[in-house]
Amino acid sequence: MTIARPADFEAGSLQPEGWLRYFSFSLDHKVIGLQYLVCGFVFYLIGGALAGVIRTELSSPISDFVSRDVYNQILTLHGTVMIFLWIVPVVNGAFGNYLIPFYVGARDMAFPRLNAVAFWLIPPAGILLISSYFISGGAAQSGWTAYPPLSLTTPALGQVLWIVSVLLLGGSSIFGGINFIATILKLRRPGLKMMHLPMYCWAMLGTSLLVVLSTPVLAGTLILLSFDIVAHTGFFNPSMGGNVVVYQHLFWFYSHPAVYIMVLPAFGLVSEILPVHARKPLFGYTTMVYSIMGIVVLGLIVWAHHMFTSGTPPWMRLFFTIATSFIAVPTGIKFFNWLATLWGGRIALNSAMLFACAFIVNFVFGGITGIALAQVPFDIHVHDTYFVVAHFHYIVYGGTVFVIFSALYHWYPKFTGRLLNEDLGRLHFLLTFIGFNLCFAPQHWLGLNGMPRRVAEYDPSFTTWNQVSSVGALLMALSTVPLLINVILTAYRGQPAGDNPWRALTPEWLTSSPPPVENWVGEAPLVTHPYAYGTPEGQLDLTAASGSELWRASQR
C-alpha cells in the first residue's frame, strides 16, 4: 500500500500548465472565466461580421448583396450568436467565474467540474450553429425568435440544428446559474455576511435565479417545437389544432428575463467599476440590493409586452403595460445611485470610466424608449419596426457591451499583470461611442416612419438614414482594431501594473496579479466594506490634497 504524501502531488500537476491550460478541461475558475471571455469574443467577431453583411445589404433599398433567404439566415445567426454566444456567456460566465469566488472568499466555484462542463458545451454548440449555414437548405431563417408556423415551414435541418444548439447553450447557462447560486450562498468565507458582498455578487445571484427559473421553459418550448418539425406533432401548428400564440408566451417567458440575464450582471460590474475610479463608496448599497431583487421579480411578469399586437386580451395588455413601466422604478434607483456615486468623487477619466459612463448615457436612452414601448398604443405603431431594433441595441450593445469593454479595461491588469494602453483605449472608446450612436440613433426615425425590421429591401425614401446607419456600423467594426492591437500587444510588452493598480479594496485585488491557482497564498481576506473609499466629510487628506483645496479649507 502506498501512502500519498503532499510532495507527490506537487511534483507533477494533473492540470496542464502554461498556455495549454486554456484549451484543457481546466477546473480553475480563473482559467474557465478567461476561456469564456476569449471564446465569447471570437463569437463577437463572427456576429459582428454577420451584422456587417446586414448593414451592407441595407445600404441600398433593393435586395442586391445576398439572396433573400440567405439574408434571413444571417439575421437569425446574428441574433442567436450575439445573445447566446457573446453577451450571456461573457457577462455571466466570464466575469462571473473569474470574480465570484474572489468576492465570496473561496478558492474556486462550488462545483468546479460542472463549471468546466458548462463552458465546454459552448464551443460545440457555437460550431454547430455556424456550420448549419453550410449544409443544404442553410441555417435557420425564422429569426432568433423562431416563431411558428414560419419555423415549421422553413428548411427543417437548419431549424433543428438551431434548436439543438440553443438547447446546449441553455443547458450551459443553467449549469452556470446553479453553480453561482451555490457558490454565493454556501461558499462564503466565515464571517462574510450577505450584506458585505460586492454588488456584482447580488447581481449574479439575481441573474442566476432568473436563469434557473426561466431557461427550462425555453428548453421545453424548443423541444416541443422540434417535435412539431421532426415528428409532425401539432403543438404550435394551427392546421393541426395547435396554437402559435402559446409558443410566443412560452418563448417570451424566457426571452424577456433573458434581457435581464444580459443586463443585471452589467449593472453589477458597473457598480464595481465606478466606486474604484471615482474614489467614493458605492452610493446606497442597500437600495441597490433591493432594486436588483425588484428587477428580478418584475422581470418575470412582463413577457407579454412583446405580444401587444398578437391579439392578447385587453386586461393582459393593461397588466403588462403597468408591470413593464414599473421596472423603470428599481432601474431608475440604480442609475440615480450611480450618479450620486460620481458626485463629489475624484473621477479618473480613463477608458474603464469612459465606457462605464457611456453605458449610463446609452442605457438611459434605451430605457426611455423602453418605457415608451411599454405603452400599448405606442407599441402598436412601432412594434416589429426599426424603432424596436434601435431600442434593444441601445440596451444590449449600448448597455451591456459597453460594460464588457469597461470591465476589460478594469480587470485586464488582474488577468495579466499589465495595464492596457490608455491612448488606444480612448481611441477605441471614441470610435465605439460615435459609431454606435451613428448606427442606431437614426433607426428610431426609420421605425417611426414605416421601416419594419428583418427586411432585406425597403422603401427608397429611407435610403439616406440607412446609409448613415451603415457608416456607423463600419465605425463600430473599425473600433475593434485598436482594441485587438491593445489587448495583444499589452499581453507581451504592456506596462506592468503591479498587484493593485487602481488601489481597489475588493478581494480580487488583494492578491498577486495574475493570481495564484488557489487565489490567495494563505487565508482569504475578510472584506466587510468592499467600497470603503473616500475621506470622511470635513476631514482633509493632507497627503493628497491640492494647494487650492488646502487654501479653500483654511478659508472655512
Partner 1 sequence: MGLVLAGLWIGQNVSLLPVDASANAPVYDDLFRVLFSIGTILFLGIVGLLVYSLVRFRRRAGELGDGLAIEGNLPLEIVWTAIPAIVVLFVGIYSYDIYERMGGMVPLHDHSSMHAAAEMASVADVVINTSEERIWGGIANAGIAEGAPQSPPLAVDVTAIQFAFLFHYPEGDFISGELHVPVGRPVQLRMKANDVIHAFWVPQFRLKQDVIPGQPTLLSFTATRPGSYPIVCAELCGPYHGGMRSTVVVHEDDAFEAWLASNRPAPVTVSAATATPFA
Asked if 238 touches partner 1 (CB under 8 A), the answer is yes
CB neighbours (10 Å) of residue 218?
21
In the bound state with partner 1, the residue whose beta carbon lies nearer, of 81 and 374, is 374
Taken in order 132, 134, 138, 144, the sign of the CA dihedral is positive
Comparing C-alpha atoms, which of 179, 267, 250 is closest to residue 215?
250
Please, what is the minimum distance in Å from the beta carbon of residue 353 to partner 1? Answer: 8
Comparing C-alpha atoms, which of 483, 358, 412, 491 is closest to residue 45?
483
Among 128, 293, 364, 471, binds partner 1 (CB under 8 A): 364
At position 554, the amino acid (one-letter code) is: S
Please, what is the minimum distance in Å from the beta carbon of residue 62 to partner 1? Answer: 9
Q: Which of residues 408-447 bind partner 1 (CB under 8 A)?
A: 444-445
Tell me the DSSP string of 485-521: HHHHHHHHHPEE--S-TT---SGGGSS-SSPPTTSSS
Strands 418-419 and 495-496: antiparallel
Please, what is the minimum distance in Å from the beta carbon of residue 81 to partner 1? Answer: 18
Alpha helices in 136-243 (DSSP H): 150-153, 156-186, 199-230
In the bound state with partner 1, the residue whose beta carbon lies nearer, of 121 and 302, is 302
3-class DSSP assignment, residue 154: coil
Applying CB under 8 A, what is the total number of residues that bind partner 1?
A: 101
Please, what is the minimum distance in Å from the beta carbon of residue 332 to partner 1? Answer: 4
Please, what is the minimum distance in Å from the beta carbon of residue 365 to partner 1? Answer: 6
- Give the three cell numbers for residue 189: 468565507
Among 25, 65, 120, 335, binds partner 1 (CB under 8 A): 335
Among 12, 18, 190, 313, binds partner 1 (CB under 8 A): 313
Among 45, 297, 371, 510, binds partner 1 (CB under 8 A): 371
Among 182, 372, 430, 510, binds partner 1 (CB under 8 A): 372
In the bound state with partner 1, the residue whose beta carbon lies nearer, of 253 and 283, is 283
Please, what is the minimum distance in Å from the beta carbon of residue 392 to partner 1? Answer: 15
Stretch that binds partner 1, among 100-108, 185-193, 333-341, 478-486 (CB under 8 A): 333-341
Stretch that binds partner 1, among 19-27, 172-180, 319-327, 431-439 (CB under 8 A): 319-327
Q: Do residues 279 and 533 lie in contact, with contact meaning Cβ atoms separated by under 8 Å? A: yes
Please, what is the minimum distance in Å from the beta carbon of residue 525 to partner 1? Answer: 20
- Give the three cell numbers for residue 508: 480580487
Distance (Å, rounded) from C-alpha 29 to C-alpha 20?
15
Contacts of 29 (CB under 8 A, 6+ apart): 97, 98, 100, 101, 108, 109, 112, 115
Stretch that binds partner 1, among 43-51, 97-105, 197-205, 337-345 (CB under 8 A): 337-345
Distance (Å, rounded) from C-alpha 424 to C-alpha 450?
39
Please, what is the minimum distance in Å from the beta carbon of residue 143 to partner 1? Answer: 5
Contacts of 33 (CB under 8 A, 6+ apart): 93, 94, 95, 96, 97, 98, 99
Stretch that binds partner 1, among 115-123, 126-134, 471-479, 530-538 (CB under 8 A): 530-538
| Integer angstrom CA distances of residue 174 from 28, 119, 210, 223, 523 | 19, 11, 10, 16, 31
Q: Do residues 180 and 99 lie in contact, with contact meaning Cβ atoms separated by under 8 Å? A: no
Q: Which of residues 119-158 bind partner 1 (CB under 8 A)?
A: 141-143, 147, 149-150, 153-154
Please, what is the minimum distance in Å from the beta carbon of residue 246 to partner 1? Answer: 11
Stretch that binds partner 1, among 200-208, 396-404, 457-465, 491-499 (CB under 8 A): 457-465
Q: What is the CA radius of gyration of the chain?
A: 24
Please, what is the minimum distance in Å from the beta carbon of residue 90 to partner 1? Answer: 25
Residue 452 DSSP symbol: B
Among 36, 252, 267, 285, binds partner 1 (CB under 8 A): 285
At position 376, the amino acid (one-letter code) is: V
Please, what is the minimum distance in Å from the beta carbon of residue 206 to partner 1? Answer: 18
Strands (DSSP E) along 393-504, which ranges?
418-419, 495-496
Asked if 319 touches partner 1 (CB under 8 A), the answer is no
In the bound state with partner 1, the residue whose beta carbon lies nearer, of 36 and 359, is 359
Asked if 510 touches partner 1 (CB under 8 A), the answer is no
Question: Residue 477: CA atoms inside 13 Å, Cβ hemisphere, count?
Answer: 17
Among 117, 378, 434, 510, binds partner 1 (CB under 8 A): 378
Comparing C-alpha atoms, which of 262, 282, 264 is closest to residue 272?
282
In the bound state with partner 1, the residue whose beta carbon lies nearer, of 12 and 314, is 314
Q: Is the peptide bond before 149 cis (omega within 30 degrees of 0)?
A: yes
Tell me the DSSP string of 234-272: -SS-GGGT--HHHHHHHHHHHHHHHHHHHHHHHHHHHHH
Q: Which of residues 240-259 bind partner 1 (CB under 8 A)?
A: 242-245
CB neighbours (10 Å) of residue 176?
30
Asked if 301 touches partner 1 (CB under 8 A), the answer is no
Stretch that binds partner 1, among 166-174, 320-328, 398-406, 417-425 (CB under 8 A): 320-328
In the bound state with partner 1, the residue whose beta carbon lies nearer, of 202 and 365, is 365
Q: Contact letters (x/-) for partner 1, 55-94, by CB under 8 A?
A: --------x---xxx-xx----------------------
In the bound state with partner 1, the residue whose beta carbon lies nearer, of 177 and 299, is 299
At position 419, the amino acid (one-letter code) is: L
Asked if 172 touches partner 1 (CB under 8 A), the answer is no
Distance (Å, rounded) from C-alpha 43 to C-alpha 82?
7
Please, what is the minimum distance in Å from the beta carbon of residue 520 to partner 1? Answer: 25
